[in-house]
């Protein structure tokens, strides 16, 4: 597949482009954007929809891989079903790989107008949670 890097920004740091192309050589549909705190690239890799996040100096921060609710590992499903969020509606599931060499699963749940992100490790242990506004 042909690689393509398009941008909604003027200057993508060289370190970010280099890391991205080295790490995801099979990427397609790469679309870069930025805000005042980071650069983000949305892309497809091996048929998966992903987002890479880079700091302003171009160093890699983390990558998200979008998943369906059905793809959530069984240990995490079991933990969620026994947690304080068991009666909340499952919204989205994302695998997050970060620069601390962690592989986490971010689960977004909703109850009424409240939304919560819960992070689990691969064993189903809750690592942290945060309210989404």
Give the tens place of pLDDT for each residue, 60-95: 999 999 999 999 999 999 999 999 999 999 999 999
Full strand arrangement of the beta sheet holding 38-45: 5-7, 28-34, 38-45, 48-55, 60-67, 89-98, 103-111, 114-120, 126-132
pLDDT value at 114 more than 50: yes
pLDDT value at 9 more than 90: no
Provide the percentage of residues in the chain whose pLDDT is more than 70. Answer: 90
Domain 68-132 has CATH 3.40.50.1240: no
pLDDT digits (tens, 9 = 90+) for 32-71: 999 888 999 999 998 899 999 999 999 999 999 999 999 9
- Cα gap 60→58, rounded to integer Å: 6
Nearest to 90 by CA among 112, 70, 64, 108: 108
Q: What does the pLDDT read at residue 1? A: 44
What are the residue boundaries of the structural domains of the chain, listed by start?
A: 5-57, 68-132
pTM of the model as a whole:
0.83
């Amino acid at each position: 597949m042909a690689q393509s890097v398009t941008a909604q920004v003027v200057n993508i740091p060289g370190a970010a482009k280099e890391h991205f192309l080295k790490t995801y050589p099979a990427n397609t549909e790469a679309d870069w954007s930025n805000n005042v705190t980071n650069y983000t690239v949305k892309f497809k890799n091996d048929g998966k929809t992903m987002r890479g996040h880079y700091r302003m100096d171009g160093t890699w921060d983390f990558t998200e891989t979008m998943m369906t609710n059905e793809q959530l590992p069984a240990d995490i499903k079991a933990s969620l079903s026994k947690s304080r969020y068991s009666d909340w509606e499952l919204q989205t599931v994302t695998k997050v790989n970060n620069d601390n060499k962690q592989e986490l699963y971010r689960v977004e749940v909703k109850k009424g107008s409240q939304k919560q992100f819960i992070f689990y490790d691969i064993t189903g242990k809750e690592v942290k949670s945060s309210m989404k506004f």
